[in-house]
Amino acid sequence: MVNAFVNAVVPFVLPSPSEIAHVLRILGMEPSDVRCAYCGDKATESDHLYPLVREGSPTGYITSIRNLVPACGKCNQSKGGRPWKEWMQGTARLSPRSRGIPDVEARIARLEAYEEWAQPVPIPLDTLADAELWERYTSLRQQLLTSMSEAQILANTIRGQVLSRWVRPNDGRYEIDRASDNPRVDLIRYLQTAGLSAVDKRTQGGRLWVEGDEQLRPTLDALSRYGIDFHFAPAGGSAIGGRPGWWTAWTDT
């Protein structure tokens, strides 16, 4: 959320076709078969080699072909805001080294050649726009974040009241017995009834994941009346192999 506010002010520069062709050449890729620059899997997105945001503030790096390389979801998610080279050689979860990618050093060399060409340098965003505009933007952002937290708390309270006061008919399909000794089993049963399988990491301090796309929304939204909120993660989670999915941290215990 905070990142969205930063991303919104970061300029983007559209690449020319010849720049795209040039970058692919440097990275040793065919335009018809673009691969993740870090690991060689099929590319599904672009990654900012230098992150746009660090600790909630703009780094000054922008969205431009001089700071974007093709990537896969796994790498993009694993790298996060880390320095790219250390991350590639490091042992972070799903990093190229951790995944045993055989040609990591060759990939690093190509990315260094790319960097040599791109010369990405941060630009002084804060001095290039009026201070007064920055101040208003920062204060609006703070107000919005505060309002959103308040709205979330109110929504939870309202949902709790509705749930506790609502005498609901048993529709015979997905009955979740909240008086049951083990409601977690009932959530799993609901998912099974709906033909879904879950990866449940909640007992290890993680989340419960259900692999799937936007089409699962109605099925999972129906659980919100029981206070169980699922959130969509288009970039997936490591629990489900980086594929798109839904997660909940809901637990009744």
For residue 10, give both structure tokens.
């970061």
CB of 214 to Zn ion, least distance (A): 24
Q: d(Cα 22, Cα 16) in Å, to the nearest integer?
A: 10
Compute the residue count for the chain: 253
Residue among 72, 94, 198, 216 that touches Zn ion (CB under 5 A): 72
- What are the distances in angstroms from CA 165 to CA 20, 153, 176? 59, 18, 16
Structure letter (DSSP) for residue 43: P
Contact by Cβ (8 Å): 126, 63: no
Binding status of residue 43 toward Zn ion by CB under 5 A: no
Interacting stretch for Zn ion, rule CB under 5 A, among 31-39, 108-116, 126-134, 215-223? 31-39
Q: In whole angstroms, how close is the CB of 125 to Zn ion at the nearest point?
A: 29
Rule CB under 5 A: choose which of 5, 38, 61, 190 binds Zn ion: 38
- From residue 232, how far is each of 4, 29, 75, 131, 156 by CA, in Å? 17, 32, 19, 37, 18
x-marked contacts with Zn ion along 113-152 as a string, rule CB under 5 A: ----------------------------------------
Question: Which one of residues 7, 28, 34, 41 is an interface residue with Zn ion (CB under 5 A)?
Answer: 41
Helix 17-26, helix 104-118: angle, nearest 10: 140
Please identify which residue in 39, 49, 187, 216 interacts with Zn ion, judged by CB under 5 A: 39
**Minimum gap (Å) between residue 94 Cβ and Zn ion:** 9
Q: Which is nearer to Zn ion, 10 or 36 (CB)?
A: 36
Q: Which member of 26, 29, 36, 240 binds Zn ion (CB under 5 A)?
A: 36
Token representation of residue 90 = 């490091």
Q: CA–CA separation, 228 vs 248, rounded Å?
A: 7
Question: Could you say which of 23, 75, 94, 208 contacts Zn ion (CB under 5 A)?
Answer: 75
- The footprint of Zn ion (CB under 5 A) covers 36, 38-39, 41, 72, 75
